[in-house]
Amino acid sequence: MPELPEVETIARYLRDGKDGVSLVGQRISTAEVLWERSVAEPRPAEFIGRLSGQIIVGVDRRAKFLVLHLSADSLLIHLRMSGDLRIEPERNESGQPRAFAVHDRVILHLESGWRLVFNDPRKFGRLWLVEDEVSVLGGLGPEPLAPGFSAEMLYDRLHRHSRKLKPLLLDQKVLAGMGNIYTDEALHLARLHPNQLSSLLTVVEVQRLWSAIRTVLEEGIRRNGASIDWVYRGGDFQNTFSVYQRTGLLCPVCGTVIERKVVGQRGTHFCPVCQPEPE
DNA sequence: CATCAACCCTGAGAGC
DNA sequence: TGCTCTCAGGGTTGAT
């Protein structure tokens, strides 16, 4: 499930290209919507009409959103659980039109003869075409890897609430980009229990958490994200997990058996010794 | 304000 | 082998 490092990896792929094909500078000829609910706004007919003719002038990431800056609008894409994007030629080697794959949902045809395909088996992903991206992204919390994001800022945000750390870190209004994997890994590295109440954290504990969050996210990006389940993106961060999906295996730090419990409706993995349960 | 259930979906894995 | 059942997971919405 794409989180900040995976989305960053995809953004770089779209921007810098792999086979020398980048989205930047390309003009959209038209679009196809194969599953209407994948388009959050506007209505599919307007979505297609407004996209046609626009030029992709830049590709960015904000939290877990991909942001395609177009000549007149912004196209925002959230991959949610199973979404993926690929760039491919419209025609195969023999010159025949390339067939769509199963679970392809939205297609942007490019004048260059290439196309951008949004594929999403579980249909949770969404696309927004908006004039002002603030209407969608406005409520997001700070980027944890931004240079200006300090431990003091995190302390302030944690102490504004009295919530369990796990659901708080997953809350995109508090901090943008963390998902289940990197939250579990960061809490383990920071030696904090997922049930720890945010308002009770000391300065030293917040400093540890701040550092841990940045460490796991940077390592995730360095490894091109994690490839888990049936979604393979070429990343290998999954090989360095300390706790995530390692229930019953041994903690790499202390050798204790990793436990799993549901916290805030999310499967949560932790080491009961490194991360002692608070009172 | 915090918590929780339901919802949106499909495929994987378990159980039979 | 092949069927049915359960469940994960991000985010939103509505109820408690």
Q: How confident is the model at residue A233 (pLDDT cuts 50, 70, 90)?
A: low
pTM as predicted: 0.94
Q: Assess contact for A119 and A79: CB atoms under 8 A.
A: no
Residue with tokens 């409520």: A139
Q: Return all residues near A187 (Cβ < 8 A) that are at least 6 apart.
A: A165, A166, A169, A193, A194, A209, A212, A270, A275
With cut-offs at 50, 70 and 90, classify the pLDDT of residue A54: very high
Percent residues over pLDDT 70 in chain A? 97
List Cβ neighbours of A224 (8 Å cut-off, separation of 6 or more).
Answer: A5, A9, A233, A234, A235, A236, A237
Average pLDDT over residues A150-159: 94
Q: State the average pLDDT for chain A.
A: 90
E-strand ranges in chain A read 28-33, 39-41, 56-62, 65-70, 74-78, 84-89, 104-110, 114-119, 126-130, 259-263, 266-270
Q: Tell me the average pLDDT across A183-198.
A: 93
- Which residues on neighbouring strands pair with residue A130, listed in sequence order? A74
Least confident stretch, A11-20, A93-102, A200-209: A11-20
Of A22-31, A87-96, A150-159, A222-231, give the lowest mean pLDDT range.
A222-231
The model's pLDDT over A59-77, given as tens digits with 9 standing for 90+, comes to 999 999 999 999 999 999 9
Which residue is associated with the tokens 């792999």? A18
* Protein CA A60 to sugar C1' C6 (Å): 38
A65 burial via Cβ count (<10 Å: 0-12, 13-18, 19+): buried
Q: At a CB cut-off of 8 Å and minimum separation 6, what does A152 contact? A: none
Region A42-69: mean pLDDT is: 95
The residue lying closest to nucleotide C7, measuring its CA against C1', is: A267
According to the model, what pLDDT value does residue A230 have? 45
Q: Is A3 a catalytic residue?
A: yes
Q: At what angle do helices A203-222 and A4-16 cross, to 10 degrees?
A: 40
Cα-Cα-Cα-Cα dihedral of A4, A237, A228, A31, to 10°?
Answer: 40
pLDDT of residue A231: 54
- Which residue's alpha carbon is at the shortest distance from the C1' of C11? A80
- Find the catalytic residue in A32, A219, A266, A272: A266
Q: Which nucleotides of B are covered by protein (CB under 7 A)?
A: 1-6, 8-12
Chain C: nucleotides below 7 Å from protein CB are: 8-12
Question: Near strand B (CB < 7 A), which residues?
Answer: A 37, 81, 102-103, 121-124, 161-164, 167, 229-230, 264-265
